[in-house]
Amino acid sequence: MNDISPAGSNMATVEDCTLVALPKIQFDAGNITPVQSEMEIPFEIARVFYLYDIPGGERRGGHAHKRCHQLLVAASGSFDVELDDGRSRRTVTLNLPDRGLYIPPGIWALQTGFSSGSICLVLNSIEYNEDDYIRNYDEFLALKGVQK
């Protein structure tokens, strides 16, 4: 799997972050959206978590990953995802539970503007590993080879 470590080859851009249409199976009693590894999303799922009860004005994320691929879904409500590759920035609004935002390694992502009662579902390609996180923006730029 690609990464952005000094020997890695992934130089992902914000244009590599794509919206993924997830299946929506409709019933009179409600809808269901199944998500399967390497079918609806381009990676095998190793970890799932969700963010909820986010106070108004709070921000989440604010980091990048070296190896982890992610899919973010607004399971309920809405929020914005600010994407940054060190050279370009782009903001994507998530507000449908059958649409996900694919984020490859090497993208700085920040979630903002959470609506009341929103739930952010996150699917990851690797299990939690603190060494995979880049939490310092200057370090992120250095790994991406970007001069300040």
Return the active site residues.
Answer: 63
How many Å apart are CA 85 and CA 114, to the nearest integer?
22
Beta bridge partners of 79: 94
Is 8 in contact with 144 (CB distance < 8 Å)?
Answer: no
How many Å apart are CA 19 and CA 100, to the nearest integer?
6
- Nearby residues of 60 by Cβ (< 8 Å), 6 or more positions away: 51, 54, 110, 111, 114, 120
Closest CA to 115 of 62, 84, 75, 70: 75
